[in-house]
Amino acid sequence: MNYFSTRGGVEPMPFGEAVMSGLARDGGLLLPETIPDVRERLDRWADLSYRELAFEVMRLFADDLTADELRALVTQSYAGFDDPEVTPVKAVGPLHILELFHGPTLAFKDLALQFLGRLFETLLARSGSELNLLAATSGDTGSAAIQGVRGRRGIRIFVMHPRGCVSPIQERQMTTVLDDNVFNLSVAGTFDDCQGILKTLFSDLSFKDRYALGSVNSINWARVMAQVVYYFYAGLRVRRATGAAQVQFAVPTGNFGDIFAGWIARRMGLPVRRLILATNENDILARFFNSGVYARGAVHATLSPSMDIQVASNFERYLFYRVGGDSARLRELMEGFARAGRLTAPLQPDGTVDAGIAAGVGDTAATRAVIRDYYERYGYLLDPHTAVGVHVASAFLRDDTPTIALATAHPAKFSKAVHEAIGRDLAHHPALDALLELPTRCTPLPAEAGAVRDFVRAHCP
Name the helix (H) or strand (E) containing 227.
helix 221-242
Q: Name 237's Cβ contacts closer than 8 Å, sequence gap at least 6.
A: 46, 89
Is 64 a domain residue? no
165-216, pLDDT tens digit by residue? 888 899 999 999 999 999 999 999 998 899 999 999 999 999 999 999 998 9
Is 418 part of a structural domain of the chain? yes
Overall domain count for the chain: 1
Q: Is residue 227 part of a domain?
A: yes
The pLDDT value recorded for residue 218 is 86
Q: What is the pLDDT of residue 389?
A: 98
**10-residue block means of pLDDT along the chain (461 residues)?**
97 96 92 98 97 98 96 97 97 98 96 95 91 90 93 94 91 96 96 92 94 90 97 98 98 95 98 98 96 93 90 94 96 95 88 94 98 98 98 96 98 94 95 92 97 96 83
Q: How far apart are CA 113 and CA 116, in angstroms?
A: 5
**Per-residue b/e over 94-115, b at no fewer than 16 CB within 10 Å?**
ebbbbbbbbbbbbbbbbbbbbb
Contact assessment for residue 319 and residue 345, using Cβ atoms and an 8 Å cutoff = yes
Strands 2-5 and 13-14: antiparallel
pLDDT at residue number 127: 87
Residue type, 285: L
Answer yes or no: are the C-beta atoms of 417 and 367 closer than 8 Å: yes
Smallest Cα–Cα separation from 166: which of 410, 386, 414?
A: 414
Q: Is 314 helix (H, G, I), strand (E, B) or coil?
A: coil
Beta-bridge mates of residue 155: 131
Domain of 263, CATH number, reads 3.40.50.1100
Q: Give the integer Cα–Cα distance in Å for 91 and 95.
A: 6
Judge contact between 329 and 264, C-beta under 8 A. no
Contact 237/96 with Cβ under 8 angstroms?
A: no
Q: Is residue 271 part of a domain?
A: yes
289 within 8 A of 359, measured Cβ to Cβ: yes
DSSP character at residue 347: P
Q: What is the 3-state secondary structure (H, E, C) of 258-315?
A: HHHHHHHHHHHCCCEEEEEEEECCCCHHHHHHHHCEEECCCCCCCCCHHHCCCCCCCH
Separation CA 454–CA 456 (nearest Å)? 5
Asked if residue 57 is part of any domain, the answer here is: no
Residue 140 within any structural domain of the chain: no
Q: Is residue 98 part of a domain?
A: yes
Residue 441: how many CB atoms within 10 A of its CB?
A: 13
Nearest to 151 by CA among 128, 181, 124: 181
**Which residue range forms the structural domain that includes residue 424?**
89-106+222-429
- Catalytic residue list: 109
Q: Is residue 40 part of a domain?
A: no
